[in-house]
Every structure is written in structure tokens, then in C-alpha cells.
Amino acid sequence: MKAHASRLIAARLGLALLTLLIVSAVVFGITGLLPGDAAQQALGQAATPEAVTALRHQFGLDQPALQRYFEWLYLVVSGNFGTSLSNSLPVSQLIATRLPNSLMLAGLTALVSVPVALFIGISSAMFRGSLLDRVLNVLTLSTVAVPEFLIATIAVLVFAVKLRWLPALSYLSEVSSFGGLLRIYAMPVMTLCCVLVAQMARMTRAAVLDQLNASYVEMAILKGASPMRVVLRHVLPNTIGPIANAVALSLSYLFGGVVIVESIFNYPGLASLMVDAVTNRDMPLVQGCVMVFCAAYLLLVLIADLAQIVSNPRLRQR
């Protein structure tokens, strides 16, 4: 019954859209409605009530909150986030120039961290309880808890200050060759990878262990299959779903991690744009960035869910 799987997928899609809608309401509520009267703030305390009323009308602030929300939502859906307050460029244009940089950083980080994490996770699950497993457990447990800026400062101290191999700041305009690319991205990617690998490895280990406890594994061992064969042939196919889930969830950590890393290395990505917007209290820009972040996060979670559905043969073919 393929219909069952597609019905599940449709339900997940609907759920993601509903969540995005609620998120947009929350974001608009926090940034648009709660902070008080933008007209009063723009004119200052000395403004006459008439002037405030006029400006409020001009901003559309005298409309009911719900109507303002839907008008804003309509604009956002059509890709118009308004203009930035600090440099009066369209927000969508600002985001469009920064987004590829962030995607590049995230993509490279994923490319490096996923294989490493899967290797660590699976091998520590295979040798559960061994010295290797315990050492890896303490290592990942500690790395998860370390703030990104500690890793970043240590990296800068070692590679930029002491060894002078890498530049401390990322200037993307200087990228001309593969070597240059490597030099620019080495430290931001390394910093992000540290925490990411630790998280992902822990979740992968848990997912694999979960399967290793299943009775079919015991059966395979009793039949005399080698440990290698048990893991590769019996366990791994069953863990694709949970592992995909683990990978997607860990990658979602990137949305928080990049905020710090981009601003340490002065990397021109979306997160540093957002931090600047928050510092300048540039609301349209903040709203735009947040919506992009949340949409990306939901997309990741959605992909994880779909991977879980698709990788489960019981749902795929019957």
C-alpha cells in the first residue's frame, strides 16, 4: 500500500506548514505587536498627539492586530520582508546576498562532520562498554558542553597566532583558489564541527545501540554471524531512519552555532547579519532573518521525517 506512505508524507507536510504559520505568528507577535508604539518611538516623547496619530495611520498601526498580521504575512509569503531601517535596502536583497555564504559554511561543515560522526558513533556502539567507548563517551560529553567561542579562541590562538598558518578573520573576497578556500574555511568549519560531531556521534550511538538490543540481532549472533556482518548487514539497514533523524537534528544545531562562529571570524553570513540587525534594532531585517532560519530548520526536520518514512520498508511497499 503505497497510499499509506504518501498519506503520511502529506500529513507531515501539512504539519510543517502549520508549524511555520504558528512560528510566523509568534515572531510577528514578539517583534511587531509587543514592543509598543513604533510611531511614538519614531517621533519621540515631545511629539504632539496629532502627529503621532497621523504617523500611526501612515504605518497602519491603527489597524487591528490580526489584520496587521495577515497583511504582513501576505507580504512575507510573496517574498517581501519590507526595507531595512538601518540602510533602507530591501530585506530580501540583503538576505539573498548573505544566504549563499551561510549555506556554503553549513554545507562544508556537514560534509566534514557527518562521516566522522557516523564513524565514531557506530564504532563506539559496536564496542559498547570497551575502553574506546568510554573514552569517546567522556570526550563527546565534554565537547557538547563546551561553548563555541572557547573552541574558536583556542583555534585562533593555535593556528593564527602561534603557528601563523591561517588568517584569524574570513575575507571571502580573497578566495581565488582551492587553497585559499581551505585557508578561509578551515577554522570556522573546524569550530562548528567539534560540537556537531560530538552531538551527532552520541545520537548515532544511541540509535545503533537501540537496534543492537533487538531480538533479531541476538538471532543473527546465535546463527554464528560475525560481529561485522551483524552490524553491517543486519543493524545498519534498520538504523537508516533513526540515523537520518539524528543527522538532521544535529545539523539543526548549526542554526545556533553559526551565530557565534560567524561573528567571531567576521564571516559575512546570515547569522552575523541578524546579530547586527538585533544590535541596531532593525525589526524588518530581524523578522526576515528569523523566518529564513525557522523555515530552514523546519525543512531539515521535515527531511528527517521523510527519510524515516521512506527508509522503512514496512511503509514503502506492502
Positions touching other proteins (CB under 8 A) are 12, 15, 18-20, 22-23, 26-27, 30-31, 34-35, 137-138, 141-142, 144-150, 153-154, 156-157, 161-162, 168, 199, 202-203, 205-206, 209-210, 245-246, 249-250, 252-253, 255-256, 259-260, 263, 274-275, 277-279, 281-283, 286, 289-290, 293-294, 297-298, 301, 304-305
* DSSP one-letter code for 214: S
56/202 with CB nearer other proteins: 202
Q: How far is the CB of 293 from other proteins (least distance, A)?
A: 5
How far apart, in whole angstroms, are the C-alpha atoms of residue 120 and residue 132? Answer: 10
104/253 with CB nearer other proteins: 253
175/186 with CB nearer other proteins: 186
Q: Compute the CA torsion angle 110, 121, 136, 210 (nearest 10 deg).
A: 140
Q: What are phi and psi of 189, to 5 degrees?
A: -65, -40
- Grid coordinates belonging to 81: 520582508
Q: How far is the CB of 48 from other proteins (least distance, A)?
A: 26
How far apart, in whole angstroms, are the C-alpha atoms of residue 264 and residue 262? Answer: 6
53/143 with CB nearer other proteins: 143
Q: How far is the CB of 135 from other proteins (least distance, A)?
A: 11
Q: How far is the CB of 291 from other proteins (least distance, A)?
A: 10
Q: How far is the CB of 177 from other proteins (least distance, A)?
A: 26
- Grid coordinates belonging to 99: 544566504
Residue (of 159, 135, 133, 143) closest to 257 by Cα position: 143
Question: Are 122 and 208 within 8 A, CB to CB?
Answer: yes
73/175 with CB nearer other proteins: 73
73/275 with CB nearer other proteins: 275
C-alpha to C-alpha distances, 116 to 127, 203, 264, nearest whole angstrom: 17, 13, 25
Q: How far is the CB of 265 from other proteins (least distance, A)?
A: 12
Write out the H or E segment, with its range, that includes residue 261.
helix 254-264
Residue 279 burial (C-beta neighbours within 10 Å; 0-12, 13-18, 19+): exposed
Distance, CA of 106 to chain centre? 8
Please list the residues that pair with 226 across neighbouring strands. Answer: none
223/314 with CB nearer other proteins: 314
Q: How far is the CB of 33 from other proteins (least distance, A)?
A: 9
